[in-house]
Amino acid sequence: MKFTNKPLFLKIIFAITIAIILFISSVSYKHIRALHDSNEIVEHTYRVLIKIEQVFTKIKNVEIDRRNYLLTHDKKLIRQIKFDKEEIKQNLKQLREITSDNPDRFQTTKKLEFLIEKKLKVVDEVLDPNFDLKNIDKVKDNIYRGKAVMEEISVIIRNLRQSETHLLETRSLKSDQVNKYTPLVNLLTFFVTIVLLILAIIKINRDLKEATINNEKLILANETANLAEQIGNYGTWQLNVETKKYTFSENEYRLLGYEPNSLEDNYEGFMNRIHPEDLYYVQGIVSEMINHETLSPFTYRIIRNDGEVRYLRASGKMIKNLKNEKILLGITSDVTEEIENQKNISEKNIELEKKNRTLFLANETNKEAEIAGNYGTAQWFVKDNRFIFSDNNYRLFGLNPKDKPEFSDLFKQVHPDDKAMVDATLDEMAEKKSFNPYIIRIIRADNQEIKYLSINNKHIKDDSNEEYVLIISLDVTEIFKAQNTILERNKELEKINNEMLLSNNALKFGEEIGGYGNWSWNIKENTWYFSDNLYKLLGAEPKSFESNLDNYYNYVHPEDVEYFKTVMAKMEEEENLPAFTYRILRPSGEIIHVKGVGSPTYDANGNKFLAGVVVNITEEVKRSQILQKAFEEIKYYNESSKEAEVIGKYGFWKWNVDKNEFEFSDNIFRLFGVENENFDPKVDNFIPYVYPEDLDYVLENLQKLQNKDKNAKPYEHRIVKKDTGEIRYIRVSHKPIEDSGEGFYYLMITQDITEEVNKNIETNQKNRELEASNKELQAFNYVASHDLQEPLRKIETFISRLEAKDYQNLTETGQQYFDRIKVAAGRMRLLIKDLLQFSRTNKSEQVFEKADLNDLLENAKHEIAEPIEEKKAVIHTAHLPKMKVIPFQIQQLFINLLGNSIKYSKPGVAPEIKIDYEKASFEKVGNVTFSAKRIFHKFTFTDNGIGFSPEYSERIFELFSRLHNKDEIAGTGIGLAICKKIVDNHKGFIFAEGKPNEGATFTVYLPEV
């Protein structure tokens, strides 16, 4: 063993290392202490500089926030400034503490602190709530003072920076000198010590770690090997060649069919487990292994403890242990499943070879079948998206299989009109793994011939679960052509059949619509045929009796039977049937009129028939009867119309504008006083009788009518009658008519309106008189509202003066007279006021506006607030609508109705007024009935006053109508008349109901506008 591996060497190295470490520690301590002192001084200088920068930064922030506050007046900045002020104070305190060791710096710091306090006071002025931010002069002064202080602070800060920077440079230079040599000495000595110490420690640790690692590796390798053996189904063994002793792993025991350590681990015990047929072979292999010191892999059989035969494969390698003994290391694997799989694969290969021979034969047969059957196949492998086409599939498309065409080559041959269908089918196949069969056209590549292919498919999964679609393309060109020929022939036959069916149906429909039935008589065979509708004409079900004349006679009206038989006998004789009419008596008792006719005809075989029809002419007979009656009625109407024209003083005439033709009734001539016998009936011949002053107007209107002017209107003018020379007024009205046969014409009415005009003249005269009367009434209203008020004001003025100065000087009788004069003057004032209000409701300036009636009601309450307060009236009001009204009139309506309820309240009882509202449809309001329901707004005013007798419910609305003595209750009798007038102005209705000593109810209906 080398000396370096002995423990004494390690001890010597360890002692020397400890001595060197102690020496280095003493030297290093001295230098580290000096370095520490130098670093503290430099660090102190840095702290001073940092605090100076922090103080200056915060001061600048305060200055910026102060200016922003002056500009924006943002209250949030005040909070930020206060926060910065607190930080400045903290930084100043810290700066004062770290500069206390240097008197010069301490004094400079004190001066800086003073200036900062001064700066903060300038800032506080701005933050003061009493500071006027809108006073520009004060703001400017504050900014200038703040700026001056800031400049002084900047100078102090700059001096402090320069002083500290200079001091920092000096201390840094001194620290660098201290640090220059200390690291080198320390590093050198420390390096030597560390090298020696490391050498010793490394040696110790290396040996210890190697032992620990090797032990862990062995444990891990052993566990791993055991687990790997179990998973890999193999075992390991060792054979000491010299002692013939086997050492088995746990799984080796299991491979041999034993529990671990339950088998004798020697050479003989192992050989006893070998299959007898393989024992000699194994022994030879082992001998060869010992001689050549290697063991090539070999396979053998064993018999396990349970009798099961297993196949094992072994391999090994010769090594030497620390004792220099030869050890054969081996691995044994259980390959029983592998051997069995190989046997199965061999059997499968034999089976596949047989199948391949069968498939080859089937494939060759299928090729010949494709050629014979004129079809081709293709397989689409879903997983690989790959197509394989049979040779005949290519031939169908006119391609040579030897050229190995691609799918795109086949697709090129698809007819252009069918390519979209093929694309859609491919998409369907990709999605569903199948598609619906279809037929396409292709253009063969070799001869450009168009062929029809029927494409079908089947989705298949093989034994390996691989999916593919088998596609079969069958040439159906000949079938398709044959089908087309058959289809065309079928279409022709179907067309003929449809025409015959249509003709037959049309005949049936024609019989039903036309109300007739047909019959035929085979003269040779004497057989008859009746159509279904002929049975129906007779009132019988189709085919309900045999078709012959004898049965037909049963349905002929008894009065017409002999006539009918005579006609039929003549038909059989002459083989012809001219048209004739008779009646049918149906089983229901209904009688219909029919017309029969027939003529000879021949069928395709030349047989002679007599065919005919029986037509229901009942409606024609009825219409003929109706027309006859209508002719009589028209004749009567014409006579009546002539009398009506005479009585109504009007006449009809017709003007065909396109043909310029005229027709006039007799009364037209009478209106103009001319004789129609000697008069040419044209409009131009009536023109001379038009009053000269109206001639141009008449010609203008006639021209409009002649031009077919749609804006032409009825017109009126005067005429001079020819026979009497009398001037008459006539009105001409018209109605345009467009007739396909006659063309465009007017139906004109000319009416004598002389009496109507005279009545209008009389009415206009009365209106003028009424208008003059209204003007006089307006003049009276003006006098009442203006001229009468002036002397009344003077009377009231003198009354007030007399009352103030001389009332006490009057005798008692004089005072009574004076009081009566005063009351009379007040009534006069109230009367004039009410007359003026009534006059306002009669004026025509009535502008309807959308108004909120709740607001108008509140305004009315304010107008009469004094009497409401005086009588302590309570008013309950429903929510009123918004509607179009004359606002000031509706407000006056509310004032008068509320005032009326308050005025006529019971003595000693507070008035209680209830206002209800509803919107509803009414067919009748009061005594007024409407043609249809109309929508009204209904307002109901109910009070608890003294009421009135029901007989006064209408009189109460008359002007100057009073139900009480003026001395009992003051009033003019105009208030409710004004209410009536206001409601009339709104096209509404007002009604009153009352019961003495119970109260009154006023109901107002205003229509929806």
Apex CA 859: angle with CA 855 and CA 863, to 5°? 170
Q: In this predicted structure, what is the pLDDT of residue 844?
A: 46
Apex CA 731: angle with CA 726 and CA 736, to 5°? 145
CA distance 995 to 4: 144
Using the predicted structure, report yes or no on whether residue 595 has a pLDDT greater than 60. Answer: yes
Q: What is the mean pLDDT of residues 680-707?
A: 87
The pLDDT confidence band at residue 100, using thresholds 50, 70 and 90, is confident
Residues 190, 289 within the same domain? no
CA distance 71 to 63: 13
Is 493 part of a structural domain of the chain?
no
The pLDDT confidence band at residue 222, using thresholds 50, 70 and 90, is low
pLDDT in tens, 324-360: 777 877 888 888 887 888 777 777 777 777 776 766 6
Using the predicted structure, report yes or no on whether residue 877 has a pLDDT greater than 90. Answer: yes
Using the predicted structure, report yes or no on whether residue 729 has a pLDDT greater than 80. Answer: yes
Is 501 part of a structural domain of the chain?
no
Helix (H, G, I), strand (E, B), or coil: what is residue 973? coil
Q: In this predicted structure, what is the pLDDT of residue 1?
A: 46
CA distance 869 to 863: 12
The pLDDT confidence band at residue 478, using thresholds 50, 70 and 90, is confident
Q: In this predicted structure, what is the pLDDT of residue 880?
A: 93
CA distance 210 to 279: 45
Q: In this predicted structure, what is the pLDDT of residue 584?
A: 92
Among the ranges 209-213, 508-512, 740-744, 895-899, which has the highest mean pLDDT value? 895-899
Determine the distance from the C-alpha atom of residue 271 to the mean position of all C-alpha atoms in its chain, rounded to a whole number: 90
Residues 404, 295 within the same domain? no
> When comparing pLDDT for 131 and 721, which is higher?
721
CATH number reported for the structural domain that contains residue 604 in this entry: 3.30.450.20
Is 999 part of a structural domain of the chain?
yes
Is 824 part of a structural domain of the chain?
no
Question: Which strand ranges, in their side-by-side order, compose the sheet holding 727-739?
Answer: 661-664, 650-656, 743-752, 727-739, 715-720
Residues 889, 971 within the same domain? yes
Helix (H) or strand (E) holding 759: helix 754-782
The partner residues of 295 in beta bridges, in order of sequence, read 316
Q: What is the mean pLDDT of residues 743-748?
A: 84
Using the predicted structure, report yes or no on whether residue 770 has a pLDDT greater than 80. Answer: no
A 10 A CB-CB count for 921 gives: 11
Using the predicted structure, report yes or no on whether residue 505 has a pLDDT greater than 60. Answer: no
Q: In this predicted structure, what is the pLDDT of residue 852?
A: 94
**DSSP H helical ranges for 440-560:** 477-514, 532-537, 549-553
Helix (H) or strand (E) holding 597: strand 591-602
Cβ atoms of residues 893 and 862 within 8 Å: no
Residues 859, 946 within the same domain? yes
Q: In this predicted structure, what is the pLDDT of residue 203?
A: 67
Q: What is the mean pLDDT of the chain?
A: 78
Residues 676, 588 within the same domain? no
For 137, phi and psi rounded to 5 degrees? Answer: -65, -45
Residues 857, 991 within the same domain? yes
The pLDDT confidence band at residue 1005, using thresholds 50, 70 and 90, is very high
Is 155 part of a structural domain of the chain?
yes
Q: Closest Cα to residue 379, out of 463, 472, 296, 476?
A: 472
Is 807 part of a structural domain of the chain?
no
CA distance 197 to 204: 11
CA distance 913 to 877: 8
Using the predicted structure, report yes or no on whether residue 722 has a pLDDT greater than 80. Answer: yes
Helix (H, G, I), strand (E, B), or coil: what is residue 662? strand
Q: Closest Cα to residue 694, out of 732, 668, 665, 724?
A: 732
Residues 32, 113 within the same domain? yes
Residues 316, 420 within the same domain? no
Is 822 part of a structural domain of the chain?
no
A 10 A CB-CB count for 640 gives: 11
Among the ranges 239-243, 822-826, 936-940, which has the highest mean pLDDT value? 936-940
Cβ atoms of residues 736 and 743 within 8 Å: no
Percentage of the chain surpassing pLDDT 70? 77
Using the predicted structure, report yes or no on whether residue 5 has a pLDDT greater than 60. Answer: no
Write down which residue in 183, 202, 221 finishes a domain. Answer: 202
Among the ranges 124-128, 165-169, 788-792, which has the highest mean pLDDT value? 124-128
Residues 54, 163 within the same domain? yes
Q: Closest Cα to residue 599, out of 518, 532, 511, 525?
A: 518
Write down which residue in 575, 597, 615 finishes a domain. Answer: 615
Identify the domain containing residue 684 by its residue range. Answer: 642-758
Tokens found for residue 557: 């009206």
DSSP label of 810: S
The pLDDT confidence band at residue 803, using thresholds 50, 70 and 90, is confident
Residues 601, 657 within the same domain? no
Please count the structural domains in the chain.
Answer: 6
Q: What is the mean pLDDT of residues 632-648?
A: 59
For 295, phi and psi rounded to 5 degrees? Answer: -135, 105
Cβ atoms of residues 725 and 749 within 8 Å: no
DSSP label of 906: P
CA distance 982 to 892: 8
Q: In this predicted structure, what is the pLDDT of residue 882?
A: 92
Is 193 part of a structural domain of the chain?
yes
A 10 A CB-CB count for 341 gives: 11
Q: In this predicted structure, what is the pLDDT of residue 826?
A: 67
List all residues 6 or more positions away from 262 whose beta carbon is below 8 Å from its beta carbon: 253
Tokens found for residue 483: 């089908």
Q: In this predicted structure, what is the pLDDT of residue 718?
A: 92
CATH number reported for the structural domain that contains residue 964 in this entry: 3.30.565.10
Write down which residue in 758, 779, 796 finishes a domain. Answer: 758
Residues 870, 992 within the same domain? yes
Residues 98, 245 within the same domain? no
pLDDT in tens, 157-216: 777 777 777 776 776 676 666 566 666 666 666 676 677 667 767 766 776 677 677 667
Using the predicted structure, report yes or no on whether residue 632 has a pLDDT greater than 50. Answer: yes
pLDDT in tens, 959-983: 655 555 455 555 556 778 888 888 8
Q: In this predicted structure, what is the pLDDT of residue 855?
A: 93
